[in-house]
Amino acid sequence: MAGRRLGSRVLRAMCKLTLEPDSCVSDTERMFTRFGTRGLAFAKFVPGLGAVATAMSGVVGAPLGGFLLYDLIGATLWAGAGIALGVIFHDAVDSVFAELATLGRLGAILIVGLFAAFLTLKWWRRHQFFHELRMSRISVAELSRLRDAGRPLMVIDARPSESRARDGMIPGAVAFEMLEKDATGARNRGEVVVYCACPNEATAARVAKRLISMGFHPVRPLAGGIHAWLDAGLAIERPG
């Protein structure tokens, strides 16, 4: 219900709580694009995807009957898998806990240390990710001002086609996959602005770097992406 009423804002808020928010939105959209509500049957087996898949069901307007059916199947499979693994490996699990019990405080320190190492690895990967995508952004206000002034601009939409159909596009924007097929004559159309719908403009920054390698310059991601544009109350258009 929250996903249907509040749309992608709920999804973005939930993704920000994950360790990898930048891939959260795109991964969830990719799953629904490929499998629809059937993806709920296995979403719980993918770390970080189970929680946001419920919100995405509301965002895409999934039928209530299909949502309840596949969510029930997914919950049953998830619980059944846990029970089955417990039955199959109960001797090994008992041995591990018995060994940890004999270690006492050292066992607890070992568990905490492994968990801390996991979080540190995630943090380091995220730090490296942000370092790779470090580049200047353009604000919605600046983009709107440049458009109103008639400044030569090319706006690139880096989202999947389903997202463009659902949320609309910035007027005059070009889908990245269309530009990728034929970039002839497009390099001299002025500054390039790329936008997406993921936290931290991760997809837009990746596409921006790719465009730079293709000879486009200058290229900047739009800070806040399509959601910042919508929040500013600016016009959108639907794909033809």
CATH number for the domain including 171?
3.40.250.10
Q: Which two tokens stand for residue 198?
A: 């993921």
- Of 2 and 63, the one with more pLDDT: 63
In this prediction, residue 24 carries a pLDDT of 60
Residue 189 lies in a domain: yes
How sure is the predictor about 117, in pLDDT bands with cuts at 50, 70 and 90? Answer: very high
Residue 237 lies in a domain: no
Residue 146 lies in a domain: yes
- Quickly list H helices, the chain: 2-6, 8-15, 21-35, 40-43, 49-59, 64-88, 90-103, 105-132, 140-148, 161-167, 176-181, 202-213, 225-231
Residue 239 lies in a domain: no
Picking from 224, 226, 210, 209, the residue whose alpha carbon sits closest to that of residue 157 is: 226
Domain around 118: 93-132
**Cα gap 114→108, rounded to integer Å:** 10
**Cα gap 164→223, rounded to integer Å:** 18
Q: Are residues 115 and 74 in the same domain?
A: no
* Residue 157 pLDDT > 60: yes
Q: Are residues 122 and 161 in the same domain?
A: no
Per residue in 12-62, pLDDT tens? 665 655 555 555 666 666 676 677 778 888 878 876 666 667 766 766 667
**Contact, 41 vs 74, CB < 8 A?**
yes
Q: Are residues 15 and 52 in the same domain?
A: yes
Q: How far is CA 223 from the centre of its chain?
A: 15
Least confident piece of the model among 69-73, 89-93, 98-102, 127-131:
127-131
Q: Are residues 111 and 70 in the same domain?
A: no
Number of domains in the chain: 3
Q: Which two tokens stand for residue 17?
A: 């709580």
* Residue 145 pLDDT > 90: yes
Backbone angles phi, psi at 185, to 5 degrees: 80, -5
